[in-house]
A and B are shown apart, each in its own frame.
Chain A
């Protein structure tokens, strides 16, 4: 899927205006928070994993930019159904996608809508915003 600036903008705006999974879970199995004091960004992340170890529900709260909220929202959709360690492996791959070498076309396809966040790859301060929920995901511990 060619990622035009318009499409990037559309996905980002959609997820920042109508964020999925916003709000913390009342009975999570995992929780973490991450901060970026330089930008005043904050994310709190909660997960509820089932007996099979798979993430059933995600809930988050964030203070920060549209890029940050969209990243929280898109991540929540993507990690549902994965185990926590699978989700964390995905976080590592996403970091590589945003900060590593220019990704190949198939890697862009792999990320589906999340690839929209690749539109800020060239702006490292914005990459920090986009990575914040993923940093929380990498830091989650059992409640």
Chain B
């Protein structure tokens, strides 16, 4: 668990941080925007790519590419080996028991849709309930709503506190005799709240309910151990963990995943096709119809190796320092309210400045080269709960610096003077 450093009084700069060396690994961080050095604080939307990932993809396309799983020629075997080696890397990184428990998808969104459509379609019937929370990303709401209209299941939504913490007791009380599934975010993309996933999963399991854990926002910040968490499914997107876009992972326990019907039909997922009837392959190919994003998988593996190289303790230390520092500095701006005050957070700060619309703040920060996200961050029900339509969100990665927080704060003060001064 990440220590709560936000409350710490002394915010000494961490000695020995290797941030400057890390920054050199990310070519885009050398860019200027509107004549100012890029200050990239939109990592929650998508993280930047280290040279290790960019070069790996280039090498794959330059020397290794062919279609996988079917060629009898050398290059196809090399591409297949690279793709399956990427799966092994993913499995090792997330500590899955077996590589076949890791299915490559287009991202977390497709992974959730896969589970909703395949497992939900086979196991849920009218009147069944599934438990969500109000802090879910639309990607963990809409696929289930589609099941709601398709099958007549009922979505039950657990509340949060004003500080943005899931009310765990309320959540557990909502588990009833018809509850068949729970799904929640590991970390909230809008508030930063880190949910007590292990505890929640144990409680759900005590009621005999499987859990889908949405790791889209946590995987970039924490070392994920799916066996320690004991989640039944875990989903994440490659592009948020410094890998390419268009690739993601669905982890599922082998027995659960193995019993699920196919999601999409096509090549690669079949055993034998005949108009008299088709049989499907086992895990993981059953869920990977069509030529997959081979370069994406290979690039994602490079990203995970890169993160292992930096070290997860170093990443957590740098990010928690930035979170504490940003929280402290932003709190000093008059009229600024931070949404998401949970003691355990990933490194992002969602805020509003009284009297100034978030979109205006975002546009004016952009003029200073500062990239943030503004609006609802794909969590409209959450903001409805707070009586807002959205916020400004600064989300950090380990390559961000205190100087960048200072640039953000200085620009916000200037914007406040312009609008309200």
Name the segment of A64-72, A78-86, A95-103, A107-115 touching the other chain: A64-72
A9–B415 Cα distance when bound, in Å, is: 11
Within 8 Å of chain A (Cβ to Cβ): is B359?
yes
Which of A5, A9, A17, A65 interacts with B359 by CB under 8 Å? A65
Give chain B residues whose Cβ lies under 8 Å from the Cβ of A9. 418
Give chain B residues whose Cβ lies under 8 Å from the Cβ of A5. 367
Within 8 Å of chain B (Cβ to Cβ): is A2?
no
Closest chain-A Cβ to B263's Cβ sits at a distance in Å of 29
Closest chain-B Cβ to A25's Cβ sits at a distance in Å of 25
A125–B367 Cα distance when bound, in Å, is: 15
A132–B151 Cα distance when bound, in Å, is: 38
**With A9-B418, A13-B418, A66-B419 in contact, is A120–B363 under 8 Å at CB?**
yes
A9–B364 Cα distance when bound, in Å, is: 9
Give chain B residues whose Cβ lies under 8 Å from the Cβ of A129. 359
**With A13-B418, A38-B375, A39-B375 in contact, is A67–B389 under 8 Å at CB?**
no
Residues of A5-42 whose CB lies within 8 A of B? 5, 9, 13, 16-17, 38-40
Within 8 Å of chain B (Cβ to Cβ): is A89?
no
Taken residue by residue from 56 to 69, chain A's Cβ proximity to chain B (1 for < 8 Å, 0 otherwise) reads as: 00000000111110
Within 8 Å of chain A (Cβ to Cβ): is B238?
no
Give chain A residues whose Cβ lies under 8 Å from the Cβ of B357. 64-66, 68
A105–B389 Cα distance when bound, in Å, is: 37
A126 and B363 contact, CB distance less than 8 A: yes
Give chain A residues whose Cβ lies under 8 Å from the Cβ of B376. 38, 40
Within 8 Å of chain A (Cβ to Cβ): is B390?
yes
Interface centre among A66, A67, A120, A123 (most CB of B within 10 A): A66
Closest chain-A Cβ to B373's Cβ sits at a distance in Å of 11
B418 and A125 contact, CB distance less than 8 A: no
B360 and A66 contact, CB distance less than 8 A: yes
Give chain B residues whose Cβ lies under 8 Å from the Cβ of A39. 359, 375, 389-390
Count of A residues near B, CB < 8 Å? 18
A123 and B363 contact, CB distance less than 8 A: yes
**CB-nearest residue of chain A relative to B367?**
A5
A126 and B367 contact, CB distance less than 8 A: no
A30–B366 Cα distance when bound, in Å, is: 38
**CB-nearest residue of chain A relative to B375?**
A39
A67 and B367 contact, CB distance less than 8 A: no
Closest chain-A Cβ to B87's Cβ sits at a distance in Å of 37
A66–B363 Cα distance when bound, in Å, is: 11
B363 and A40 contact, CB distance less than 8 A: no
Give chain A residues whose Cβ lies under 8 Å from the Cβ of B360. 65-67
A17–B419 Cα distance when bound, in Å, is: 8
Give chain B residues whose Cβ lies under 8 Å from the Cβ of A38. 375-376
Interface centre among B358, B363, B367, B375 (most CB of A within 10 A): B363
Residues of B355-381 whose CB lies within 8 A of A? 356-360, 363, 366-367, 375-376
A13 and B419 contact, CB distance less than 8 A: yes
A67 and B359 contact, CB distance less than 8 A: yes
Which of A16, A17, A40 interacts with B389 by CB under 8 Å? A40
A40 and B390 contact, CB distance less than 8 A: yes
Closest chain-B Cβ to A64's Cβ sits at a distance in Å of 6
**CB-nearest residue of chain B relative to A126?**
B363
B363 and A67 contact, CB distance less than 8 A: yes
Give chain A residues whose Cβ lies under 8 Å from the Cβ of B390. 39-40
Taken residue by residue from 402 to 421, chain B's Cβ proximity to chain A (1 for < 8 Å, 0 otherwise) reads as: 00000000000000001100
**CB-nearest residue of chain B relative to A69?**
B357
Closest chain-B Cβ to A119's Cβ sits at a distance in Å of 9
Give chain B residues whose Cβ lies under 8 Å from the Cβ of A126. 359, 363
Interface centre among B357, B367, B375 (most CB of A within 10 A): B357
Give chain B residues whose Cβ lies under 8 Å from the Cβ of A125. 359, 375
**CB-nearest residue of chain A relative to B361?**
A65
Give chain A residues whose Cβ lies under 8 Å from the Cβ of B375. 38-39, 125
Taken residue by residue from 343 to 361, chain B's Cβ proximity to chain A (1 for < 8 Å, 0 otherwise) reads as: 0000000000000111110
A47–B320 Cα distance when bound, in Å, is: 54
A64–B389 Cα distance when bound, in Å, is: 10
Residues of A111-143 whose CB lies within 8 A of B? 120, 123, 125-126, 129
Give chain A residues whose Cβ lies under 8 Å from the Cβ of B356. 66
A8–B105 Cα distance when bound, in Å, is: 45
Known: A39-B375, A65-B360. 13 other contacts (CB 8 A): A5-B367, A16-B419, A39-B359, A39-B390, A40-B376, A40-B390, A65-B358, A66-B356, A67-B359, A120-B363, A123-B363, A125-B359, A126-B359
A-B pairs with lowest CB-CB distance, top 3? A40-B389, A65-B357, A65-B359
A-B contact pairs, 14 of them (CB 8 A): A5-B367, A13-B419, A16-B419, A64-B357, A64-B359, A65-B357, A65-B358, A65-B360, A67-B359, A67-B363, A68-B357, A123-B366, A126-B363, A129-B359
